[in-house]
Amino acid sequence: MDTQTENDARRDRRSRVRRIRNAIITIITAWMVLSFILLTFLCFKVFSLQRQINILLAERMKEVSSDYASADGEMDSQLLTYVGTAEENLAAPDDTLKVYLTFDDGPSERTAEVLDVLDDYGIKATFFVTGHTDEHSLAMYKRIVEEGHTIGMHSYTHKYSDIYASVDAFAQDLDLIENLIYDTTGVDSMYYRFPGGSSNKVSNVDMAEYIEYLTDKGIVYFDWNVASGDATTQAYTADDLVENVMRDVVKYKTSVVLMHDSENKTITVEALPTLIEKLQAQGALLLPISEDTRLIQHVTLSTNHTAEE
């Protein structure tokens, strides 16, 4: 092989390597550019979907409030409407806020502590209780009533699968809790809080049927328009709880505040003194639920609603 041929071969090899290198660079560059375009496109897509969600949510909120505003009796009596945050309940700056603290799920190991704090401040509240027949629980039902609080029902078993299986099952459960409270305290409770609220999505049966059943029995149900956040499984602090309540109570003339009375809710008890002090500093009236309490319900039969207007 002469030098000339050798040089040619080397040049060929070099230019092949260069071509391959260029090809690789081109591919990588193209890949980066495409990724960038794709990423930009996806970001844009996410952003526009987020916007659409916001628009839909806003429309839904408007629908909900106009459902409420236009409940005119022509609607199907089974139709449910939202009233918890109704416009007529929005507070003006000078309004005296009415705040109803409510404790669900008791009696529990915490009930006596909750009652003690309420007693320290001379505050009356509402307890939506479930069914227990042990000595401590019976004593707690009595204390709730003797100390001037409102006792409401929150089902006997609190088992969604039972009470929401059928109206019959619901009725049987209601009888149990009604009788237990009556036999223990002498009070014929007229208040009910649906486990999961009247807007729960667990029930097999249209909630309208349960609402009708309660209404026929003269029992009034209350949901809540302020959640303390103590139902969440995530850890929450006493400060969080106070903040959650204080942020929302200023919005409404009447606030029904959802809290829980159960063994693991020590934070709720811990938060209670500060919460009461802050509410009082705000000039709020802390009251037990009574016949005079504005109905705070997540859903209601539109016919019931019209009758009230």
**Interacting residues toward Zn ion by CB under 5 A:** 104-105, 195
CA 43 to chain centre: 31
Give one word for 36, left, alpha or beta, with left for phi > 0 and alpha for psi -120 to 50: alpha
**Whole-number Å distance between alpha carbons of 164 and 166:** 6
**Whole-number Å distance between alpha carbons of 207 and 210:** 5
Please report where in the chains the tokens 């204390």 appear, as a residue.
Answer: 143
Minimum Å distance from CB 195 to Zn ion?
5
Q: Using the minimum distance from each CB to Zn ion, give the nearer residue, 152 or 195.
A: 195
Minimum Å distance from CB 105 to Zn ion?
4
Helix/strand/coil for 138 = helix
Minimum Å distance from CB 242 to Zn ion?
21
Q: Using the minimum distance from each CB to Zn ion, give the nearer residue, 97 or 259.
A: 259
**Whole-number Å distance between alpha carbons of 186 and 240:** 38
Q: Using the minimum distance from each CB to Zn ion, give the nearer residue, 105 or 178.
A: 105
Q: Using the minimum distance from each CB to Zn ion, give the nearer residue, 159 or 253.
A: 159
How buried is 288 (Cβ within 10 angstroms: 0-12 exposed, 13-18 middle, 19+ buried)? buried
The first and second tokens of residue 83, run together, are 């009233």
Minimum Å distance from CB 284 to Zn ion?
24
Q: Using the minimum distance from each CB to Zn ion, give the nearer residue, 68 or 192.
A: 192
**Whole-number Å distance between alpha carbons of 242 and 246:** 6
Minimum Å distance from CB 65 to Zn ion?
27
**Whole-number Å distance between alpha carbons of 220 and 104:** 16
Q: Using the minimum distance from each CB to Zn ion, give the nearer residue, 230 or 284.
A: 230
Minimum Å distance from CB 196 to Zn ion?
7
